[in-house]
Chain A
Amino acid sequence: MSKHYLELSGVDMRFSTDKGEFEALKNINLRLKKGEFVSLIGHSGCGKSTVLNLVAGLYTASTGGVILEGREVDGPGPERAVVFQNHALLPWLTVEQNIALAVDNTFTRHGKAERRERVAHFLALVHMNHAAHKLPGEISGGMKQRVGIARALAVDPKVLLMDEPFGALDALTRAHLQDSLMEIQAELGNTVIMITHDVDEAVLLSDRIVMMTNGPSATIGEILDIPLQRPRNRVLLSDDTHYHQLRRRVLSFLYEGHNKVSQLGGKANVA
Chain B
Amino acid sequence: MMNIIPLSRLSGLASPRRLSRALIPMLGITGFLLIWHLLAAQVTTSLGTLPGPVQTGQQLVNLVQEHQAERSRERAFYDRQIARNLTIKAENPDAQVRIRAFTGRPTFFDQILTSLKTVAAGFLLAMVIAIPAGIALGLNKNLYQAMNPVVQLLKPVSPLAWLPLVTIVVSALYVTPEPLVSKSFLISLVTVTLCSLWPTLINTAVGVAGMDKDLVNVSKMLRLRGLTHVRQIVLPSAIPMIFTGLRLSLGVAWMVLIAAEMLAQNPGLGKFVWDEFQNGSSDSMARIMVAVVVIGLIGYLLDRLMLALQQQLSWDKTGNHR
Contact = CB atoms under 8 A, between A and B. Distances in A.
Contact of A90 (B3, B228, B236): B236
B221 A56 contact: yes
B2 A88 contact: no
Interface of B: 1-4, 212, 214-215, 217-218, 220-224, 228, 232-233, 236, 239, 315-316
B217 A90 contact: no
B165 to A, nearest CB: 41
A138 B315 CA distance: 12
Contacts of A57: 220
B1 A141 contact: yes
Given A92-B239, A137-B1, A101 B316 contact: no
B221 A81 contact: yes
A140 B239 CA distance: 24
B221 A76 contact: yes
17 contacts: A58-B217, A76-B217, A80-B221, A81-B221, A84-B214, A84-B217, A84-B218, A88-B212, A90-B218, A90-B232, A92-B236, A92-B239, A92-B316, A102-B222, A137-B1, A140-B1, A141-B1
A9 interface: no
Contacts, number: 56
Interface of A: 56-58, 75-78, 80-82, 84, 86, 88, 90-92, 101-102, 105-106, 135, 137-138, 140-141, 155
B223 A82 contact: no
Contact of B215 (A56, A88, A137): A88
A106 B222 CA distance: 7
A82 B217 contact: yes
- 3 A-B pairs closest in CB distance: A92-B315, A88-B214, A76-B220
B31 to A, nearest CB: 41
B230 to A, nearest CB: 14
A88 B216 CA distance: 9
B315 A135 contact: yes
A56 B4 CA distance: 36
Contacts of B224: 105
A138 B223 CA distance: 27
A88 B218 contact: yes
A77 B239 CA distance: 27
B221 A86 contact: no
A91 B222 contact: no
Contacts of A101: 222, 232
